Amino acid sequence: MPQSRPVRLTEYNSYRVAARAERCHFPATTAELAALLAEPAPGGIHLLGHGNNIILSRPYYDAEHLFVCTRRLDTSLTVDGTRLSAGTGARLRDLCRAAARAGLSGLETLWDIPGSVGGAAVMNAGAYGTSFYDVVETVEAFFPAEGIIRSLSRTECRPGYRTAIFADGKAVILGARLGLRPDDPARILAAMGRVGKLRRSRLPYDLPSAGSVFRRPEGAPPVGVIMEEAGLKGFRIGGARISRRHGGFIVNAGGATGADILAVVEVMREAARRRYGVELKLEQVVI
Ligand SMILES: Cc1cc2nc3c(=O)[nH]c(=O)nc-3n(C[C@H](O)[C@H](O)[C@H](O)COP(=O)(O)OP(=O)(O)OC[C@H]3O[C@@H](n4cnc5c(N)ncnc54)[C@H](O)[C@@H]3O)c2cc1C
């Protein structure tokens, strides 16, 4: 069992917010993971995949908090016929590339979404009307309370819009098996290329962010449109700014803290309340 050590979390959150944790581990095996999760953590156990959908609200997490990062747990990608099995730590981008190389279609619209397979399974990551669970057959997860590993069918994972059963943090995703369709690799790569181009033209990939801040509101226009109407694109508190390119994103324009980001979140919420009477719900996870 590796010793606890203080870790700078800056490189493990895509906002690049500067933060430090007294206890952060990168388990390499399931046995190590199980032992870690049995450790006391009165401040909470914080699971991290690749950190592309989280807001670190504090600059310092003392030893009461335990960060467990699954990026090194299992990064394998295995093709078997039309099935692709992926370890939790594998990058979603590598998964899409592996599928394309094997001539397997179904992941093209998820191309260029940052993050891990584990994170995609928790968040049901998606874009352009499709999402991760569209192609999931099973998800394997460790349930620390029972000390067991279970393989759950897609239905048992209860996928919804940017959510699944794992959102409560009570299980650790170990991997997923996907069922894909055979197709021409050149056609798949061309489709991914189009998606990549579209994303890069619309989303602020040039500055650190964590994607869409909020879930899509019901009964109101998309968040980006609301912010544009409210004249809030480019609005800034400290280092956190509502993206000029996409009003649904907050970017770190330099030295943003978690408090800066959360203050901008409140301004966006208030704008949506005032203009449309809707209560915006965070998609990003606050730690
Ligand atoms: C530029 C940019 C564009 C983006 N575009 C999109 C998009 O188009 N569509 C979209 O859906 N998302 C998008 N996102 C958000 C993000 O990429 C996804 O939510 C992604 O699935 C997060 O994966 P992650 O590994 O980084 O998860 P993290 O941010 O590390 O974690 C997210 C949640 O999952 C939990 N978690 C992570 N790993 C595990 C695990 N192994 N077991 C159990 N729980 C775990 C965490 O505790 C947390 O609650 C974007 C982000 C950025 C920065």
Residue-wise pLDDT tens digits, 91-138: 999 999 999 999 999 999 999 999 999 999 999 999 999 999 999 999
pLDDT at residue number 281: 97
With a 6 Å cutoff on the Cβ, whether 119 touches ligand 1 is: yes
Would the pLDDT of 3 be above 70?
no
If you average pLDDT over every residue of the chain, what do you get? Answer: 97
User: How many angstroms is it from 93 CA to the middle of ligand 1?
Assistant: 12
CATH no. of 5-69: 3.30.43.10
174-196 as b/e: b if 16+ CB within 10 A: bbbbbbbeebeeeebeebbeebb
With a 6 Å cutoff on the Cβ, whether 280 touches ligand 1 is: no
241-276 pLDDT per residue, tens:
999 999 999 999 999 999 999 999 999 999 999 999
CB 249 within 8 A of CB 228: no
With a 6 Å cutoff on the Cβ, whether 176 touches ligand 1 is: no
Determine how β-strand 65-69 pairs with β-strand 24-25.
parallel
**What is the mean predicted confidence (pLDDT) over 189-198?**
98
Q: Give the residue, by CA position, lying nearest to ligand 1 atom 14.
A: 211
Q: To the nearest whole percent, how much of the chain has pLDDT over 70?
A: 99
Mutation choice for ligand 1 from 113, 134, 199, 203, CB with most ligand atoms inside 8 A: 113
pLDDT at residue number 132: 98
- What is the Cα–Cα distance from 221 to 248, expressed in whole angstroms? 11
Number of H helices, E strands in the chain: 6, 21
Mutation choice for ligand 1 from 61, 116, 123, 143, CB with most ligand atoms inside 8 A: 123
Mutation choice for ligand 1 from 53, 111, 172, CB with most ligand atoms inside 8 A: 53
Would the pLDDT of 184 be above 60?
yes
CATH architecture of 77-200: 2-Layer Sandwich (3.30)
Determine how β-strand 83-87 pairs with β-strand 77-80.
antiparallel
With a 6 Å cutoff on the Cβ, whether 53 touches ligand 1 is: yes
**What is the mean predicted confidence (pLDDT) over 177-197?**
98
Would the pLDDT of 5 be above 80?
no
With a 6 Å cutoff on the Cβ, whether 110 touches ligand 1 is: no
- What is the Cα–Cα distance from 11 to 146, expressed in whole angstroms? 32
Specify the CATH class of 206-286 in words: alpha beta
Give catalytic residue positions: 162, 212, 283
Q: Residue 174: how many CA atoms within 13 Å on its side-chain side?
A: 18
pLDDT at residue number 237: 98
Q: Residue 202: how many CA atoms within 13 Å on its side-chain side?
A: 13
Question: What pTM, to 2 d.p., does this model score?
Answer: 0.96
**What is the mean predicted confidence (pLDDT) over 74-102?**
98
User: How many angstroms is it from 50 CA to the middle of ligand 1?
Assistant: 7
User: How many angstroms is it from 283 CA to the middle of ligand 1?
Assistant: 10
Domain boundaries, the chain: 5-69, 77-200, 206-286
With a 6 Å cutoff on the Cβ, whether 209 touches ligand 1 is: yes
Would the pLDDT of 48 be above 80?
yes
Work out which ligand 1 atom sits closest to the CA atom of 54. Answer: 29
Q: Give the residue, by CA position, lying nearest to ligand 1 atom 50.
A: 211
pLDDT at residue number 6: 87
